[in-house]
């Protein structure tokens, strides 16, 4: 399968925390040109692309299939500016503080993008005690230094401005590595599916590029209410902890072993007959897959499943190493498997 991986690198490099997905939405909207019968943006900022299905044959039912991949990434908002110009931040999404030491960040104001450094308060190693060095700082102790005076910062920065971690995506062997692969890799897959879906799909398809997933599956909740799907398919990443220091039974998925078909996470139990249908389809089409049970975490699929009177739903999960860091890594063959399986279903 020929995937244009440069698009995934570009998506990864865009900044868009929950509620500030504008740059990602504009990129996706451009990419959707000619790929959908209708594209609209709703009040939550979700981008919804519609492709009409073909006329059903005798005995067939044309479903309303909602796909959903979220545009937002974990990041921060400015919550306080002190008299010296240091910024305190509000986390948007789940962070491990061990991944945040001395990180370059960008603070996006109304007028400009300001470079900064995110670091915890306290003494450097040269003058800290052994007890201090053993502690992992809490998120509330981190601040952003913009290298400007207090008055200069207060003139340019407002409470609520977006703060994102800086990292350029790159190819590393058979992996694509960068920030926000959660969930830009699935945004990329969803775009590729629409691009390669040359003929009318079997069912009506609503491809949703959702907002605010990282803070409670919010965009998908309202989109599902409006779309009224009869089938829901979330597209997201999942843990691939197939690395040193972790037992095999905790790996969840393994890189390069195929797309994950979710059985369970803390936001949903996938509809069993739909899981079986996708497993049978993957085996019939020769698409590599693995079944996924994730003890903690959720996806847009959970929001779709609970919409209105309930929707049969599953999630296709892309195995990803180092989730919720700036070096999230996905395998090219897993991307290909995800696109191939979803195409086979929609065709």
Which residues participate in catalysis according to the annotation?
213
Q: Is 264 exposed, middle or buried (0-12, 13-18, 19+ CB in 10 A)?
A: middle
Please state, in angstroms and rounded to a whole number, the distance separating the CA atoms of residues 289 and 240: 13
Report phi then psi at 3, rounded to 5: -105, 135
Do the beta carbons of residue 116 and residue 146 sit within 8 Å?
Answer: yes
User: Residue 165 has which token pair?
Assistant: 């971690």
Q: Which of 41, 338, 325 minimizes the C-alpha distance to 211? A: 41
Q: Bridge partners of 65?
A: 205, 231
Please state, in angstroms and rounded to a whole number, the distance separating the CA atoms of residues 168 and 151: 31
Q: Which residues contact 244 (CB under 8 A, 6 or more apart)?
A: none
Rg value, the chain, Cα: 21
Please state, in angstroms and rounded to a whole number, the distance separating the CA atoms of residues 167 and 102: 13
Q: Which residues contact 127 (CB under 8 A, 6 or more apart)?
A: none
Please state, in angstroms and rounded to a whole number, the distance separating the CA atoms of residues 18 and 72: 5
Buried b (16+ CB within 10 A) or exposed e, 112-133: eebebebbbeeeeeeeeeeeee
Residue corresponding to tokens 């999630």: 315
Q: Which residues contact 305 (CB under 8 A, 6 or more apart)?
A: 232, 268, 271, 311, 312, 313
Please state, in angstroms and rounded to a whole number, the distance separating the CA atoms of residues 314 and 268: 8
38-41/47-51 β-pairing: antiparallel
């Amino acid at each position: 399968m020929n995937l244009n991986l440069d698009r995934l690198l570009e998506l990864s490099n865009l900044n868009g925390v929950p509620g500030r997905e504008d740059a990602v939405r504009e990129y996706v909207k451009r990419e959707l040109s000619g790929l959908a019968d209708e594209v609209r943006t709703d009040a939550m900022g979700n981008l919804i692309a519609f492709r009409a299905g073909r006329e059903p044959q005798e005995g067939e039912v044309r479903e309303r299939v909602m796909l959903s991949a979220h545009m937002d990434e974990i990041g921060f908002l400015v919550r306080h500016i002190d008299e010296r110009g240091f910024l305190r931040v509000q986390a948007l999404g789940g962070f491990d503080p061990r991944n945040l030491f001395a990180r370059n960040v960008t603070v996006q104001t109304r007028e400009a993008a300001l470079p900064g450094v995110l670091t915890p308060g306290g003494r450097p190693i040269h003058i800290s005690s052994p007890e201090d060095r053993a502690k992992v700082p809490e998120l509330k102790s981190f601040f952003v230094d913009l290298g400007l005076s207090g008055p200069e910062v207060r003139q340019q920065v407002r409470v609520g401005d977006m703060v994102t971690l800086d990292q350029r995506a790159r190819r590393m062997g058979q992996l694509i590595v960068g920030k926000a692969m959660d969930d830009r890799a699935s945004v990329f897959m969803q775009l590729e599916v629409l691009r390669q879906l040359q003929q009318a799909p079997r069912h009506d398809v609503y491809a949703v590029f959702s907002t605010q997933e990282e803070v409670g599956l919010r965009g998908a909740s309202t989109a599902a209410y409006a779309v009224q799907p009869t089938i829901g398919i979330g597209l997201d990443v999942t843990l691939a902890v197939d690395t040193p220091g972790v037992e095999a039974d905790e790996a969840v998925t393994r890189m390069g072993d195929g797309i994950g078909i979710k059985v369970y996470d803390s936001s949903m139990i996938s509809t069993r007959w739909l899981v079986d249908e996708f497993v049978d389809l993957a085996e019939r089409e020769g698409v590599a897959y693995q079944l996924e049970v994730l003890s903690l975490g959720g996806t847009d699929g959970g929001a779709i499943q609970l919409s209105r009177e309930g929707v049969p739903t599953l999630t296709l999960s892309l195995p990803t190493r180092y989730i919720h860091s700036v070096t999230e890594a996905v395998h090219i063959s897993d991307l290909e498997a995800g696109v191939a399986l979803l195409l086979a279903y929609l065709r």
